Structure 1
């Protein structure tokens, strides 16, 4: 095949890879802003040029043929090489610029990352930020984001990352609530209190503490459970009970004396403790806009 012919088919190869990724002509068309018939014609042209049927079409789904599997792997390599070329070129941009798309868990995004965004935008006037707050698992490729922040002990295999901040939890209450109901001196004393917890899983109502070699697990009860840290903070501030909160949510109220830590000599552990890591695909050439965002947040949170 001539070079000219090969170049003309590169767009068809990229579209074919996208069709396999989405599993649908219509979804590919929606993402690329064209019609499903245009996507179908593009795949047909590629099949005719290669002299092979790449996709087996049914009324419900698309399935790769044997030759299609091999061609798809090479098309993915081509798309990845093009993306790598774009990343290399961004290294020579004199200053960071472009859109940074970041996915963050809701509470971490609202209380940890969002407060620093205005300063970041002021420092880098050519960089825009799209902050996506959600608690579901986000895939960098499938969800089309540049960076993802996760609470984890270590970056998962296949990704690079930088540790931003430890996520520690505590239990808190207002001085007024404790004056009215008494202050727990031992984790087991929490059984007599109205406790405000996450409420998504049965284990959320089983609070775990340790102090040196002592390990204590307590089943707590309360009239209000809510899966948002800001709402739990509001409930605590309204004297509803003793609430479980990440330190980053409780910090300002603690400093102002509006709430106090309960059982401060005990370490409170939840399934959501760990560290917030900013993660990205492994590359030797991280775009300037991403390096700027990562370094800025690491410095601020460090």
Structure 2
């Protein structure tokens, strides 16, 4: 038995939460994963996992063995890194998830630039306004804008996401410019179904959507006033297509995070992509706000 592979199988099963997902992550059959687990348990003379048709859980012996197994894999990766770092080239396919508006406004260009630097890396970009399940949907990296992160996920903050209250000049010319938050009672307010609606509660919502890009288009068309992120509307504010109103209004500052399942056993391509995004979007001020 290849004990190092068996150790990797055990750790991956624990991290993925099932033999099937671990098999997918390791590019093995489920039967092979099961055989490696059985061989490792035989070698350690201990049962490591409670297995049922619906879930798995660690035994006391498995809980004790898990930390040591992770240390063993980290040591093996360190040896491999020292021996082969000079000639390694990132390769493989990465599955990335992000919201439609951030993907279109900022992330797509960043991914194209990364691929130009690393042509052997393929990228599949999944677009969704919802928070994706990384393990179930086999996502390597999610870029998520939020202030509430699940404690089970590993994250790296990439940037801060500021928002502004804005409207098209034509709308303001026709309906006037609000000077105080209470003035929003007299205006058409557009709200994100899950984010910004509560912050414009002073106004009657005339239009809402769960897609930030749709709200952006509606505001440009003169439908009303909305809270929109500066990563999306920065060019519109600079060109005059949109005008900021109520600049003193207290709006939530959100974090832009890279989300992934584990720091261990990361493909080189994934580590480099996370570093690339942190370098591109990081700094005291996000690039779209400079």
Normalising by the smaller structure, the TM-score range is 0.7 to 0.9
Alpha-carbon offset, residue 194 of structure 1: 0.9
Q: Which runs of 4+ in 1 moved over 6 A?
A: 94-98, 137-140, 279-283
Larger radius of gyration: 1
Q: Which residue is 2:73 aligned to?
A: 79
Contact 1:87 1:287 in 2 (8 A): no
Output the CA distance in 2 between the equivalents of 1:128 and 1:23: 26
Q: Does 1:222 align with 2:217?
A: no
Q: Which stretches in structure 2 are left out of the alignment for 5+ residues?
A: none
CA distance 1:52–1:268, change in 2 (3 Å): closer
Q: Secondary structure at the match of 1:177?
A: helix
Alignment check: 8 A CA contact 2:181 2:202 kept: no
* Alignment partner, residue 5 of structure 2: 11
Within 1, Cα distance between the matches of 2:50 and 2:110?
Answer: 50
**C-alpha distance after superposition, 1:204-231 (max 9, x if no partner):** 3333xxxxxxxxxx52212211122211
Alignment partner of 2:246 out of 263, 274, 280: 263
How far the C-alpha of 1:17 sits from its partner, in A, is: 2.2
2:234 aligned residue: 251
TM-score (norm 1): 0.71
Question: What SS does the aligned partner of 1:188 have?
Answer: helix
CA RMSD of aligned residues (A): 4.0
For residues 123 and 149 of structure 1, the distance between their equivalents in structure 2, rounded to whole angstroms, comes to 24
Identify which of 108, 115, 118 aligns with 2:112: 118
CA contact (8 A) 2:164 2:229 kept: yes
Equivalents in 2 of 1:18, 1:108: separation in Å? 31
Deviation at 1:55, TM superposition (A): 2.8
> Paired residue for 2:60?
66
Task: Tell me the residue number matched to 2:256.
Answer: 276
CA offsets 1:143-185 (integer angstroms, 9 cap, x no match):
66368565559xx9x9785654x42211222222222222222
Q: Does 1:206 align with 2:189?
A: no
- Of 239-248 and 24-33, more deviation after overlay is shown by 24-33
In structure 2, C-alpha distance between the alignment counterparts of 1:279 and 1:37, rounded to whole Å: 30
Kept in 2: contact 1:236–1:243 (CA 8 A): yes
Q: Deviations over 1:88-141 (max 9, x none)?
A: 55753487766666554543332122234434433554555454555527779x
> How has the CA–CA distance of structure 1 residues 93 and 54 changed in structure 2, closer, same or farther, with 3 Å as cutoff?
same
Q: Equivalents in 1 of 2:64, 2:75: separation in Å?
A: 17
**Aligned mate of 2:34, from 27, 40, 47:** 40
Native 8 Å contact 1:187 1:263 kept in 2? yes
Gaps of 5+ in 1: 1-6, 208-217
Against the structure 1 CA distance between its residues 90 and 127, is the aligned structure 2 distance closer, same or farther, given a 3 Å change threshold? farther
TM-score of the two chains, using structure 2 as the length reference? 0.74
What is the number of equivalent residue pairs in this alignment?
278
Q: Is the 8 A contact 2:48 2:59 kept in 1?
A: yes
Selected match of 2:163 from 166, 169, 183: 169
Matched, 1:295 2:275: no
Query: 2:158, 2:281 within 8 Å by CA — same for their partners in 1?
Result: no
Structure 2 counterpart of 1:145: 140
Give 1:245 deviation, angstroms.
Answer: 0.8
Q: 1:236 matched to which residue of 2?
A: 219
